[in-house]
Chains A and B, each alone.
Chain A
Amino acid sequence: MWNWLKHHFLSPKTFYANTTPLLPWMTLAFALCFGYGLIDGLFIAPADYQQGDGFRIIYVHVPSALTAMAIYLTMAIAALITLVWRVKIAAICMSCSARIGAWFTFLALVTGSIWGKPMWGTWWIWDARLTSVLILFFLYLGFIALESVIVDQHNRDRATAVIAIVGVINLPIIHYSVLWWNTLHQGPTISQFAKPAIAPAMLHPLIAMIAAFMLFYGLILLLRMRNQILLRERKSQWVQEVFV
């Protein structure tokens, strides 16, 4: 059963074939979520009573920060699968996620900094959450640095998988940093269990934007993975047929 799954369903060839029809639907879903979130968030949602229109950067900042963490989690899970079950697709998913994750983390840091200047009066502060997101950024960069040094494909996948797994310890630190320490960064806006601390009119575009960012990640990841698959399997028969 497992071997069948690994060699047929999770083989690069099947993966490539199965994801082809997914792409237009994902693009459509992303465009809908992004369009609605952007228009509703920037023009229709009411202004915050304290922060005025300045709060609207939340519609970029929160989704990018959440996506940055979600990407690292994806990488760590893929890394575990790479090390334990040696699934090729998982290794490809891990290595393709790293650069996207690094960019989302960078975006979260920059938008947070832009938001922080008018609200806190400073571009940067050494607060727990900011520092831990910065560490996340360094983790991504370290991963990419290691990846770019090792020549052998198989070793590269396994070595980077180890470092991805070790770094995952930082995720709970980021997530709970605003709860554990009393810091300048405000508490979480959305919580799974409690009633959200945000008005529904502001919440709906935020959820749409989060969905849009995740879909964007999924879309870019799929495109990159398909490229990577073609590159890695370029000597096999089926790839030759794709291009004929």
Chain B
Amino acid sequence: MFNIIFYEIRTTLRQAHSWLTPLLFFVMVITLFPLAIGPNESLLEKIAPGILWVAALLAILLSIGNLFRHDADEGYLDVMLLSPYPLTWLVLCKVMSHWLTHCLPLILISPILGFLLHLPAHEQYALFVSLLLGTPVLTLLGAIGAALVVGIRGHGLLLPILIMPLYIPVLIVGTATTQQSMAGCFAILGALLLFSLAFAPFLTGIALRIGVNQ
């Protein structure tokens, strides 16, 4: 299992554009807000957690479409489906390596961006933890959608439309952690993470088998 994760990470890191693009996107979207709204410190501080969460969500939406795309193009996906290893584990490996290469950089850079948006330190901490718990949920849910559309040529905006409704509850809980600093929200976020860890890879496996046929 770790071999697959290391292999995936190594191949992703070799193509700098694939993991740097979401990061750059994340930074640039966040830069847009102070420019559009104006450099009002108290306003920025209030909306900073929301901006960071929405930007992270959009960055994940952009990158998740490629989760199975290259594998499908190069035939590696068929090998995955035919391999003796359980598909659920392979999917979980892929999702984990995708999260490590595409989401973790966003989370690591988020304190700096929060600092630029005048976010106070205790909210900074809550935001960091909520992103750490929430982005894996987004990645796991996104994988289901990515698997469903993998066989559709030129699906364009279909994937965001499919999975954004599923993202909204996570977004609500995730931003609530910073706005009210409630411990209960972290518990709900953790529960969502465990729940999606248990079911999403399995469903992604089913979706992949359907998606490849198209």
Contact = CB atoms under 8 A, between A and B. Distances in A.
Judge: A and B partners, yes or no.
Answer: yes
Interface of A: 83, 131-132, 135, 138-139, 141-142, 145-146, 149-152, 155, 158-159, 162-163, 165-167, 169-170, 173
A145 B158 contact: yes
List of 8 A-B pairs having minimum Cβ-Cβ separation, nearest first: A138-B165, A158-B210, A142-B162, A139-B165, A162-B207, A159-B210, A135-B165, A142-B161
Contacts of A165: 203
B109 interface: no
18 contacts: A131-B168, A131-B172, A132-B169, A135-B168, A142-B163, A145-B161, A146-B162, A150-B152, A155-B151, A159-B207, A159-B210, A162-B148, A162-B203, A162-B207, A162-B210, A166-B203, A170-B169, A173-B169
Nearest to B151: A155
A166 B141 contact: yes
Main secondary structure of the interface of A (DSSP, over half): helix
B144 interface: yes
B155 interface: yes
B206 A155 contact: no
B104 to A, nearest CB: 25
A122 B149 CA distance: 39
B40 interface: no
B50 interface: no
Pick from B155, B165, B168 the residue with the most CB of A within 10 Å. Answer: B165
Interface in B151-189: 151-152, 155, 158, 161-166, 168-169, 172
B213 interface: yes
Contacts of A132: 169
B206 A162 contact: yes
Contacts of B145: 163
B203 A135 contact: no
A151 B169 CA distance: 31
A46 B144 CA distance: 51
Interface string B87-110: 000000000000000000000000
A155 B214 contact: yes
B148 A163 contact: yes
B118 to A, nearest CB: 24
